[in-house]
Structure 1
Amino acid sequence: MWVKLNFSLGESMTLIPGLIELQFIENEGMAFGWALPGAVGKLVLTSFRLVAAVGIGFYMNRLVNSGAHKGFLTCLAFIWAGAIGNIIDSAIYGQLFTASHWGMLAEWAGEGYAPFFMGYVVDMFHFTVRWPAGFPIESLASREVFPPIWNVADAAISCGVIAILIGQRRFFSEDAVSAAETATPSEE
């Protein structure tokens, strides 16, 4: 919210030179600016987010009750929190704020700029690290290592998924699975 009310669209502020900056953009789609076209695409994406968030919530509850690995539960919690954060942005920001414009700050508004579930997600973090000029892959030389602009929710989802991939042997080993099965009374 702070970025939305204190930055005009496209405005940036360096946090750590050569590493990261705040740059305010609005994203009508999903992580890193990917989108489905039009109003129908926006509703499909929001519906998917809602179904995913509810599904993850029920799945996590089941896993907690079955004694699942705490590391796996933590990863799912990151993914769940990120999904909910992006749902909040897209669901209510269009109702709470005026539209963002280049050179103009958004304001709290009575009517807002978009109907419920049609608002934009605010993205603001931008890594400015560049590949070295002499990088062996010429097409990458002097280009940004990670150009998308993202938000905390995107980071939470990405970190959760990456941590699951890294920790999958530990989370889903035979020992972890049998410990979870032992902790859960059978439903016979």
Structure 2
Amino acid sequence: MSLRKAYLLIFIILLVDQLVKIYIKTNFELEHEIRVTRWFRILFIENEGMAWGTKIPGTYGKLFLTVFRLLAVTAIGYWLWDSVQKNYSKYLIVSISLILAGAFGNIIDSVFYGVIFDHSNHQLATLFSDRPYGTWFHGKVVDMLYFPFIENATLPQWIPFWGGKTFTFFNAIFNIADMAISTGVGILIVFNKKAFAKPYDREDTVFKNTLD
């Protein structure tokens, strides 16, 4: 797979991710919800930290997280370039491209959204507002996809500690960028041997199949 095709895939994912986020920001108030089906909803929230709403404490926690993400994207970008140059498998290159696109998509929120949007509390946010809600590198990541497959179910009483309590199966709220990252990681796990096969191993296999 060529670097040009990998960049095209990354661009498409970034474009879709940002269009969806901008639409949600400018058409939904914070925590506004639309039920598409019983188990699929669009629920607008903003994530100030890492996955599952985890935050790094301290005054510079958010800045540290954003800078770390930028360094991680740089490393992943080099990994992609190196894998293409060494003719690694399409499984690996597609996976890296998905992970890179997802990481970069959320970085855009963290770096820019604080200075181009005003807040979404009880109002629709305005793009390129003259009263932004934050500063550079302190933007909030926009999440909106919610799939509560099992909601408000009650755990059996015999389960220690949690018996009798209610729970929701798959209560994560995420975005297109998160989906890209998860899909990329999933490909690496499921197709591990094919993804990390050495170029000469694949060439030898093709050569043997040709002889057979």
- After TM superposition, is the score higher than 0.5? yes
Partner of 2:65: 45
Match for 1:170: what amino acid? K
Please provide the CA RMSD for this pair. 2.4
Aligned: 1:105 with 2:118: no
Q: What fraction of aligned residue pairs are identical, expressed as a percent?
A: 37
Q: Does 1:5 align with 2:26?
A: yes
Aligned partner of 2:82 in structure 1 is 62
Deviation string, structure 1 residues 8-32 (Cα, Å, up to 9, x no partner): 11110012x2221110111111223
| TM-score, structure 1 normalization | 0.84
2:184: which partner in 1?
160
The one-letter code sitting in structure 1 at the alignment partner of 2:201 is S
Residue 97 of structure 1 and its aligned partner are, at CA, apart by 0.8
Pick from 42, 48, 56: which aligns with 1:22? 42
Answer whether contact 1:33 1:148 (CA < 8 A) is retained: no
Residue identity opposite 2:194 in structure 1: R
Cα distance between partner residues in 2 of 1:18 and 1:177: 50
Q: Distance between the aligned counterparts of 2:182 and 2:126, measured in 1?
A: 30
The corresponding residue for 1:148 is 172
The 8 Å contact of residues 70 and 107 in structure 2, kept in 1 or not, is answered as yes
Aligned residue for 2:168, secondary structure, equals coil
Aligned counterpart, 2:9: none
Structure 2 length as normaliser, TM-score?
Answer: 0.75
**Displacement of 1:143 after TM fit?**
3.0
2:123 matches 1:123: no
Provide closer, same or farther for how the CA distance between residues 40 and 132 of structure 1 changes in structure 2, counting only shifts above 3 A. closer
Q: Which runs of 5+ in 2 are unaligned?
A: 1-21, 205-212
Partner of 1:35: 55
CA displacement 1:128-183 (0-9 Å, x = unmatched)? 21079587796598632210111111111111112111111222246x553479xx
Residue in structure 2 matched with residue 92 of structure 1 by the alignment: 112
* Bigger shift: residues 130-139 or 140-149: 130-139
CA distance in 1, matches of 2:110, 2:85: 32
Structure 2: distance between partners of 1:35 and 1:83: 17
Cα contact 1:69–1:180 (8 A) shared by 2: no
Indicate if the aligned counterparts of 1:67 and 1:180 stay in contact, CA closer than 8 A. no
Q: Tell me the CA shift for residue 47 of structure 1.
A: 0.9
SS in 1 for 2:191: helix
Q: Distance in 2 between matches of 1:41 and 1:135?
A: 36
